[in-house]
Structure 1
Amino acid sequence: MERKELIRLEHVSKAFDGQTVLDDLNLVIHENEFVTLLGPSGCGKTTTLRIIGGFEKPDSGRVILDGRDITSLAPNKRPLNTVFQKYALFTHMDVAENIAFGLKIAGRDKAFIEDKIHYALKLVNLEGLEHRSVSSLSGGQQQRVAIARAIVNEPRILLLDEPLGALDLKLRQDMQYELIRLKNELGITFIYVTHDQEEALTMSDAIVVMNQGYIQQIGSPEDIYNEPENAFVADFIGDSNIIDGTMIRDRLVRILGQEFPCVDTGFGTEQPVDIVIRPEDVELTAAGEADGGLTGEVTDVIFKGVHYEMCVMAGGFEWLVHSTRMFGEGTRVRIGVDPFNIQIMNKPASEDEEAVSENDQIR
């Protein structure tokens, strides 16, 4: 079922002290969608979130909500709430008072507030802690209070600016599943900022990969991981072997001097291309004396629990390989790749083209 458009950013640009942070950004976010803005520090993701929230005003462009221009609308006039990385809880108030703060400001009556506090505590699994001081809570519990305070106001949109960054790994993973559950139960549109690829892949309906103020790619977690549109996305999302190659003709590519069948077409003949092969898609076999193809030597082996991580020097390139089958250091191996697991991409013609995504940016 097609989701209704909720927010549209049109030709949004923003600079700070003469440094462009967002450059003609266009983006559509749909109702009841979990959208993650993903990218390295300085890519513009937090600025995008702050512009949606009304905390920053774009230098040019518009923010449209339900067809209405809200570019100049104050944050408290927008149907949204924000959860920050540092939570911004009131330490002189207990849990219930923190959750009720926005409702009291809105002039809600006592019975309504008490009902909403109970509802919110149940949603975030903090029942029985309403009278606890927030300073006595663990980091995960404080984060749940911050989310409860945000959702109790029934916003249409919840903005989350790296809210899990201060938590340890296990707690962060637990909270990822909690956020997915909350989104499904509440029907709220979540807009989430992170530089953590695992968080983005785990939680999102759609991922917006950003770099240098531009959108590089928009897609589902599966599309972003399996079909990266350029070398930046491939390198940023998970581990990748990114190799210079030559497209000999449709469905045939030359990699490090060896020909490999692939499934890609439309790149021309004898054209330079970028090739992406994920470590888990590299197939290793023991190399015999008479073997042809691309052969090399295992230079490093690390046991990762569910697989072995190996480095293989072959064709003058150091391949990263993930496999449940271990080949010891110094072993001669042959490299194979299924044609469907070879991702071909056009080489950018310039640094500007490398920074700018070729996709339409508006879904």
Structure 2
Amino acid sequence: MKKELLRLERINKSFDGRKILEDLDLTIHENEFVTLLGPSGCGKTTTLRLIGGFELPDSGRILFDGQDITQLPPEKRQVNTVFQKYSLFSNMDVAENIAFGLKIKGKSQSYIKDKIRYALKLVNLEGYEHANVTGMSGGQQQRIAIARAVVNEPKVLLLDEPLSALDLKLRQQMQRELVKIKRELGITFVFVTHDQEEALSMSDTVVVMNQGWIQQIGTPESVYNEPENAFVADFIGDSNIIDGIMVRDRLVHLLGKDIPCINTGFGENVPVDVQIRPEDIQITAPEDGQYRGVIKSVVFKGTVYDITIEAAGFEWLVQTITGHEAGREVGLQLAASNIQIMAKPASEDEEAAKDV
């Protein structure tokens, strides 16, 4: 069992009368790659800044290794931050940028030299000690910012959307590099992004946030395959989300038909949200499907086709690796194991917190 390293307890934070975080509770463990994921304005960057000491909560407390650090300034925390814009010093070369924090701490020249050599090797920039940072690519600048952060030997590295300015290919390369660096350092990463694919591909734990609330915490597989509410289902990848009635265990009434599922414990004749991923729907001959429909559009996305099918009064999104003709009548077949049942919010307050 992993050791608890960082805990946020009942954190509240407002700016100009607008509540950004409300009663937020979050536990982060040693050597964990945690991603705070959500749309703009959901509170993820504020959460990161609270951990780093750049903001103070209105109420609640932050514990680090069992010690209350809520009021501790950033320089007193065993945490370093890599910001979105890297914040490198243009009047310093690469080595001077990396050494900046170590010089402030009064480290010896030999210690600093060893640390620079180690950090440059870690981020694959050996031989760049005296390069001008302004002439380097975005990916190289990001590596320098990471090197500058890790030489201070933090227990936690905070990363605030550090890949957002990079092009797709470089962003994917840097995703792999970050996972490798984290593994080699053996420290905790807390990463902020609004990119679902980025979160799913890099993280041990994904924290899905919306409007100051945590919607779900889990592994990438669990938040994708077993979303706890309609917001998570819709935000993490593409989904078909449909109103249904849970008839009884393992049977849901969906668009006029009773459809087998594997879910239990919702009760009988209870309104639910039903999620079906586009890749989990099988297109069949019209007579072989549970629903009959007509293909409205087909869009080629490079590796899959996005196919919109109107059936039973609902526009289904289906993803396949083979194309189909628009206007053609087809059937839709749903496997019980691919149907995810989610509880509907029970009140207006729960609606705001869980499915906004």
TM-score normalized with structure 2 length: 0.98
Match of 1:81 in 2: 80
C-alpha displacement of 1:292: 6.7
Task: Report the AA paired with residue 333 of structure 2.
Answer: G
Secondary structure of residue in 2 paired with 1:155? coil
Q: 2:346 pairs with 335, 344, 349, which one?
A: 349
Report sequence identity in percent.
67
Deviation at 1:269, TM superposition (A): 1.6
Conserved in 2, the CA contact under 8 Å of 1:216 and 1:355? no
Partner of 1:238: 237
Unaligned runs of 5+ in 1: 359-363
SS in structure 2 of the partner of residue 356 of structure 1: helix
Q: Is the 8 A contact 2:283 2:333 kept in 1?
A: yes
Structure 1 match to 2:11: 12
5+ unaligned residues in a row in structure 2: which ranges?
none
Runs of 4+ in 1 over 4 A off after TM superposition: none
Matched positions, count: 355
- Contact 2:6 2:65 (8 Å CA) reproduced: yes
- Corresponding position of 1:321: 318
| Corresponding residue of 2:293 | 296
Query: What is the identity, as a one-letter code, of the residue corresponding to 1:196?
Result: D
Matched, 1:220 2:228: no
* Contact 1:41–1:195 (8 Å) recurs in 2: yes
* Counterpart contact for 2:81–2:149, Cα < 8 Å: yes
TM-score normalised to structure 1 length = 0.96
Match of 2:52 in 1: 53
Aligned-partner residue type, residue 57 of structure 1: L
Match of 1:157 in 2: 156
* CA shift for structure 1 position 356: 2.5
Asked if the contact 2:120/2:147 (under 8 Å) is kept, the reply is yes
| C-alpha displacement of 1:326 | 2.5
SS in 1 for 2:159: strand
Tell me the distance in 2 between the aligned counterparts of 1:8 and 1:173.
30
Matches within 5 A, 1:27-38: 27-38=26-37
The aligned residue for residue 147 of structure 2 is: 148
Look up the match of 2:328.
331
Could you tell me how far apart the structure 2 residues matched to 1:220 and 1:240 are? 19
Q: How far apart, in 1, do the equivalents of 2:290 and 2:168 lie?
A: 42
Of the structure 1 ranges 266-275 and 103-112, higher mean CA displacement relative to structure 2 is found in: 266-275
Task: Kindly state the Cα deviation for residue 214 of structure 1 after the two structures are TM-superposed.
Answer: 0.6
In 1, Cα distance between equivalents of 2:317 and 2:55? 42
Aligned to 1:361: none
* Per-residue deviation, 1:357: 4.6
Give the root-mean-square deviation of aligned CA atoms: 1.1
Q: Which residue in 2 is equivalent to 1:91?
A: 90
Q: Deviations over 1:157-214 (max 9, x none)?
A: 0000000011111000000000000110001100011111011001100000011111
**Contact 1:211 / 1:355 at 8 angstroms: preserved in 2?**
no
C-alpha separation between the residues in 2 aligned to 1:351 and 1:153?
Answer: 47
Question: For 1:172, what is the secondary structure of its paired residue?
Answer: helix
Task: After TM superposition, give the deviation of residue 222 of structure 1 in Å.
Answer: 0.2
Distance 2:218 2:195 in 1: 16
Q: SS of the counterpart of 2:40?
A: coil
